[in-house]
Amino acid sequence: MAGKIGEKSLLSPFMAFFAAHCMQLGIGHLTFQSDVAKLVGQDSWIVVCLTGIMFHLVIWMMYRVLNKAQNDIISINQAFFGRWAGNVLNLFFLGYFLLFGGTTLRTFIYVVQVWLFPDVQTWILSLILLLLACYAVFGGLRTVIGVCLFSLIHYVLLPLHLELVPYLHFNNLLPAMDHSTSEMIRATQKMTFSFLGLEILMIYYPWFKQPQKSERWVHLANAATTLFYLIEIAASLTFFSKDQLVRVQWPTLALFQFFRLPYIERFEFIVVTFNLLRAVPILCLCLWSASRIAKTITRIRPSRTVPFFAALLAIFAILLPDYSAINQVHQWGNLMGNGLVYGYIPLMFVLSMIAKKVKPA
Amino acid sequence: MMKGVSALLIVPFFLTSAGCVQKSVIDQITLPIVAGIDKGPGSMISVTISSPLYKGDGESKIMNIVSTAASRTSQKAGGILQEENQSPFHYGKLSVTLAGSELAKGGISKALDSTLRDPRVSKLMYLAVVDGRAQQMLEADWSKQMEKGRYLHQLITNNIKSGHLPPNNLHMFEYAWLGQGRDPYLPLVKLQEKKIKITGLALFDDDKFVASLNDEEMKIFRLLVEKTKTGTFEVGLNTDEYVSILNQHSQVRYRMATRSGIPEFTIRVRMKGMIREITAHKLKVTDPYKRRVELELGKSIIDTGEELIRRFQKLGIDPLGFGDFARSRTRHWDEVKWREQYPHLKVTIDAEVNISGTGATK
Amino acid sequence: MNNKNDDFNEKLKMMAGSSDFLIFEKRSNFSHPFTICYFKPLVDPTILHEKIMPLLNVNADQSLDVLFAMLPITEKKLTSEWKSVEEGLLKGYAAIRFRAEGNQTLIVDVGKKEGRNVQAPEIEFSVIGPKEAFVESITANLNLLRKRLPVPEMKTKEMTVGNLSKSKIAVCYMEGITNEAYVNTVIQRIEGIDFDFVLDSSMLSEMIEDSKKSIFPQLLDTERPDRVAAALGLGQFAVFMDGSPHALIGPVNFALFLVAYEDYYLPWHMASFFRLLRFFAVSFSIIASSLYVAATSYHYEVVSTSLLSTLISSRADIPFPPIIEALVMELTIDLLREAGARLPSKIAQTIGTVGGIVIGTAAIEAALTSNVLLVIVALSALASFTTPNFRMSTTIRILRYPFLLGAEWLGLLGIFIVFAFLLVHLLRLKSIGAPYLVPVYPLRLSDLNDSLIRLPYSSFPRRPSFLRTRHSSRKSVEIDEE
């Protein structure tokens, strides 16, 4: 393990809630309704619940592994698979988080380009957002999680959904369970994309005081995400007819068109900008964990790696020209995430059950 | 220190590169509030735009500019319009779109595609079908006090809020148009001697305008569509004795029962009303009299309603969304099969009116 | 011995190079000649002639020790070190030497106490509550404080900073309550100052703050003794400086800068209302004009049609883009404010009102600015004045310029980007090691009762947890520690 973490920089366990919750509410949140409704229509809300429950299970397994080792996944990998193979796995994690950050960055910029400024250059927005992220990451983990906390500001717009009630067709939720199991499983796979991000806790684990206590906060974060998605999916399903929902590219944003205050309308433009605050913490968390992995493997100082990774993300974002390319990357991300959550974590769980005691690498 | 200097250098850098984002300074753009689409020559569509031109303070100095262009796509037509306008068009404030009846009969969705695609156009925009040509309506001089688009917008809003027009907007049109087992409807407006009037409801089959309802039918139609709190209904008791009833609260509920394969529908309408006017001489409203009015009104709701539904069945259109309702109550609902069944559905209306008050007079 | 004596005399002679230094030797009539010297402008002749000279004239044959005991003045010292003699002389002491006793010198305070009397607070005025404010004299200030905290736990630690100004500084804290870590940090930082002039607590504050680059004040300056007393009671420390009528309080957080001390004298409902009002005023004042710029240059869709037509009509004849319009108006307001601050107060008022009205009306009539913007700018200027702390209110006035530039650059998105940078900056900021955004982040629910709102006193059983006090209960009866 690369250096013991100083007592002073340890965080209280409840901050795990913000890290996990913000990481989950990423790009998936903007589009998941149409993706899932395409497959299972009115049963989408069941899929949301199912995926939420799956993730509670994943968290439970994750924490069994982590609690036993009392360390982060980087060291666990090294301990289980040896220094060499373990580091290859760690590099995979590094790549995964960079991909996560990169797609998030590009997608949010794309949303801005569609809704607000069609002619804004990708590089200029990526540059400024990454500068911001670096500034926060250099402030330390405490600052990063602070950004997460403040990004929850977007919840102030949630009560606006009440305005939708006259438009809602609750009949759209019926008949329930009208789809086959295989359809549901495929939809759950799709839905997984919107729940991804919790894995980051495997890196952050040793940074909490009494880390095993952070488990319930992560569960709570996942429950909050599930609840939020449920509200969103219920609103979208009852607000749009199925074929309409499938055609809408960003249902979450589209919903916000229907609110009006006496002098302000078209809330979706405000929501697009609020989304920026949602992208920044994800960028920070990803950059931070990437640099942490790099530090553990190679002992290069984060002050060097963070700008380097930020530059990588910027190049990645600039190289994705249009929505089909972005969508392609989403699919890779989804594949990697599915493998991670449903393959890797259960595997580690079983391994750690078998292993008597994890030897420090 | 160097860091601080370089940070300061970033600011002008961004401000100069700001040029790459197009601005839309509000007094340097033209904001069309109402647009009209018509059938143009051949397969073209003709687009008419009316936008306000503000000159200094006050609404009285507002001028309407109306211009028309024809092209195969509405976007192209917009480009042609741009060529004759001094400032760029921005469609973010478009609040009403009028479709000429000729175009509407041929299908409205192609002409609407660009509006639905553009995230700047609000889905709360009103759509309406013009009895005649939209261009003619926009060029006519019927709004001296107010900008035309806002006038039309308020006209439709107020008719939904306190009149008989069932609620509708671009989103609801799209909902019904794309939704299974449901067909859209839009308000029908007509230019009558320098006045605009909402004459009824235009009914669509898919996206084609196929039939219309008149004012009276629209009143009953609205009762069948949703819960209402507005509207005045008139009941004729004798040739010269009419009673006018204010709707205070009405509720509607659909029920479906499937017997012998074909679904049967019951629509239950409950209305609470108040007598507003009686054209009879020195009449005292007694309980039996109230009862009679209630029954008469109930009967007229049932008669008109069932007649309307029969007409819908004959046309094969479903503006009330029976199909959607059946879908939500049937496992593995099959739209093709439903279309075959639809003309043979049995629909009964059960309407009950309850008169709770008689106003300030007994 | 003799050598040294000469040395002492030499040094005195050197001082006499300054023409306001007096060396008065009395030798002719007496068998015991003595010397008395002092800086003329610093001493109070009344004390010198009424209390010291008569005594000296009579008792010149006694030793200095005896004289020392007889002098009816508390501030006096018997020393043979040149350094303390010099220090004393420079502070308005008189030095008395008997030739017979060599270097032994009696220094006695006969300083003239020039300075204001205690007056009502001007910057942090309150309608309700005590109306005493600090003055320039540190003794008077400590006196005001001690009167409010008559307990032995209140300790002060005195220091001197400034190579030339030699300013006296006192750090006050409550033993057993204040966390020593904070006190030690601040003492360390003050001792680390190496500068010639430290004249006011604001200068001192800049020198000991955590981040010198930040435009946010990280120590709270106040002129109210009651506020300092309460802060000490809560577990903060206070720094006094001779010559400055403001004490510094630390560690602080952002919310404390929006607290007017009167909030504690008003009923809690009203106090909470005013605090929220101030918070909204601050937010409004920062972003109002930039929102105008964003809405008029980019986001016409967000404004409702009816308001939009008002906006367009008001802007119809204006030749400038909104950003220039807004920048000019904001600068004008700052100009008026600066002019008001530089001019004598009576004229300043005239400038403020007449200048404001005349310039405003004329600007609209000349179609240089829209009346909507004028209203927005005036309101936001008004709102920025609600900030109780002067340094914070200047910070807030400066902050609106980056927001304006952000709005010009990318509209609402630009505003949000600037906001995000500001947020990260605030998250990174610390006041003497304590996070600046506490109690919101790190979240401390128990401290929220006295942040943007003030709940009744019964809900304050403990001292704020962000101060990590040694003793958190505010009551005499112990409450259970969590």
Q: State the DSSP string of C91-113.
A: TTEEEEEEGGGTT-EEEEE-B--
Q: Which residue matches tokens 């995400």? A: A225
Residue of higher predicted confidence among C91 and B64: C91
> pLDDT value at position A228?
93
> pLDDT value at position A275?
83
Looking at residue C436, the DSSP 8-state letter turns out to be T
Residue of higher predicted confidence among C157 and B285: C157
- Flag whether pLDDT at C177 surpasses 70: yes
Report the interhelical angle of A122-138 vs A267-298 (nearest 10°). 60
Q: What are B257's strand-pairing partners?
A: B264
In a domain, C367, yes or no: yes
> pLDDT value at position A1?
39
Residues C274 and C366 occupy one common structural domain: yes
- Cβ atoms of A182 and A306 within 8 Å: the answer is no
CB-CB under 8 Å, B52 with C305: no
Q: Please give, rounded to a whole number of angstroms, the shortest distance from the CA of A139 to a CA of chain C.
A: 6
Strands (E), C63-166: 76-79, 93-98, 105-109, 154-161
* Residues spanned by the domain of A148: 7-354
Mean pLDDT of chain A: 88
Pairwise CA distance, residues B8 & B16, whole Å: 14
As a whole number, mean pLDDT of residues B75-87 equals 79
Pairwise CA distance, residues B89 & B77, whole Å: 12
Peptide bond into C439 cis (omega under 30): yes
- Closest by CA to A4, choosing from A63, A67, A71, is A71
Write the residue in A15, A146, A264 that is nearest to C302 by C-beta: A264
User: Which residues have C-beta within 8 Å of that of residue B68, sequence separation ≥ 6?
Assistant: B46, B47, B48, B49, B81, B135
In a domain, A284, yes or no: yes
> pLDDT value at position B362?
66
| H helices, E strands: number in chain C | 16, 12
| H helices, E strands: number in chain A | 15, 0
State both tokens at C47: 């004390």
Pairwise CA distance, residues B356 & C4, whole Å: 116
Per DSSP, the three-state class of C266 is coil
ipTM of the shown complex: 0.92
Low-confidence ranges of chain A (pLDDT < 70): 1-4, 356-361
> pLDDT value at position A130?
93
In a domain, A198, yes or no: yes
Scored b (16 or more CB within 10 A) or e, C10-25 reads: eebeebeeeeebeeee
Hey, how many other C-beta atoms are within 10 angstroms of the C-beta on B315? 15
> pLDDT value at position C409?
87
Q: Please give, rounded to a whole number of angstroms, the shortest distance from the CA of A149 to a CA of chain C.
A: 8
Residue of higher predicted confidence among C14 and A86: A86
Pairwise CA distance, residues B144 & C470, whole Å: 76
Pairwise CA distance, residues C307 & A82, whole Å: 67
pLDDT tens per residue across span B154-210: 999 999 988 889 999 899 999 999 888 889 999 999 988 888 889 999 999 888 899
Q: Please give, rounded to a whole number of angstroms, the shortest distance from the CA of C192 to a CA of chain B.
A: 21
User: Which residues have C-beta within 8 Å of that of residue C237, sequence separation ≥ 6?
Assistant: C171, C172, C173, C178, C182, C183, C186, C249, C250
As a whole number, mean pLDDT of residues C394-418 equals 91
Residue to mutate among A17, A148, A150, A157, with most C CBs inside 10 A, is A150
Residues C338 and C396 occupy one common structural domain: yes
In a domain, A2, yes or no: no
Q: Please give, rounded to a whole number of angstroms, the shortest distance from the CA of A265 to a CA of chain C.
A: 5
- Flag whether pLDDT at C73 surpasses 90: no
Mean pLDDT of chain B: 83
> pLDDT value at position C481?
46
Point out the domain boundary residue: C252, C283, C308: C252
* Superfamily of B227-362 according to CATH: Nutrient germinant receptor protein C, domain 3 (3.30.300.210)
Work out whether strand B208-214 and strand B232-236 pair parallel, antiparallel, or are unpaired. unpaired
C interface residues, B as partner, C-beta within 8 Å: 213, 295-298, 300-301, 305-306, 308-309, 311-318, 321-322, 405, 408-410
CB-CB under 8 Å, C411 with A116: yes
Amino acid at the residue A90? N
Residues of C in contact with B15 (CB under 8 A): 405, 408-409
Point out the domain boundary residue: C185, C218, C252: C252
Mean pLDDT of chain C: 86
In a domain, C356, yes or no: yes
In a domain, C343, yes or no: yes
In degrees, rounded to 5, the angle at the alpha carbon of residue A235 between the alpha carbons of residues A230 and A241 is 120
Domains: count for chain C: 3
Looking at residue C343, the DSSP 8-state letter turns out to be S
Domains: count for chain A: 1
Pairwise CA distance, residues C225 & C146, whole Å: 9
In degrees, rounded to 5, the angle at the alpha carbon of residue A356 between the alpha carbons of residues A352 and A361 is 75
Write the residue in B23, B95, B153 that is nearest to C297 by C-beta: B23
Q: Count the helix, strand and coil residues of chain B and give each as a percent rounded to the nearest 5.
A: 40, 30, 30
State both tokens at A216: 């319930």
> pLDDT value at position B1?
44
A interface residues, B as partner, C-beta within 8 Å: 42, 114-115, 117-121, 124, 128, 166-167, 169, 171-175, 178, 240-244, 247, 254, 257-258, 260, 265-266, 268
Q: What is the CA radius of gyration of chain A?
A: 20
Write the CA distances from A258 to A269, B19, B122, B148, B227, integer angstroms.
12, 32, 9, 23, 20
Residues C244 and C306 occupy one common structural domain: no
- Of A169-183, B122-136, C199-213, the poorest mean pLDDT is in A169-183
Write the residue in B14, B26, B59 that is nearest to C308 by C-beta: B26
At A301, which CATH number?
A: 1.20.1740.10
pLDDT tens per residue across span B22-55: 888 888 888 888 888 888 887 888 888 888 877 6
| Domains of chain B by residue range | 25-225, 227-362
Residues C278 and C368 occupy one common structural domain: yes
* Residues spanned by the domain of C168: 138-252
Residues C333 and C385 occupy one common structural domain: yes
Write the residue in B20, B21, B119 that is nearest to A115 by C-beta: B119
pLDDT tens per residue across span C96-126: 888 777 778 888 888 877 777 888 888 888 8
- Partner C contacted by A22 (CB < 8 A): no
Residues C10 and C78 occupy one common structural domain: yes
> pLDDT value at position C1?
41
Torsion angles phi and psi, residue B208, rounded to 5? -105, 135
> pLDDT value at position C4?
56
In a domain, C259, yes or no: no
- Of A86-95, B327-336, C20-29, the poorest mean pLDDT is in C20-29
Percent of chain B residues past pLDDT 90, beyond the cut: 11
Closest-CA residue of chain B to C411? B23
Write the residue in B22, B124, B179 that is nearest to A241 by C-beta: B179
- Partner A contacted by C443 (CB < 8 A): yes
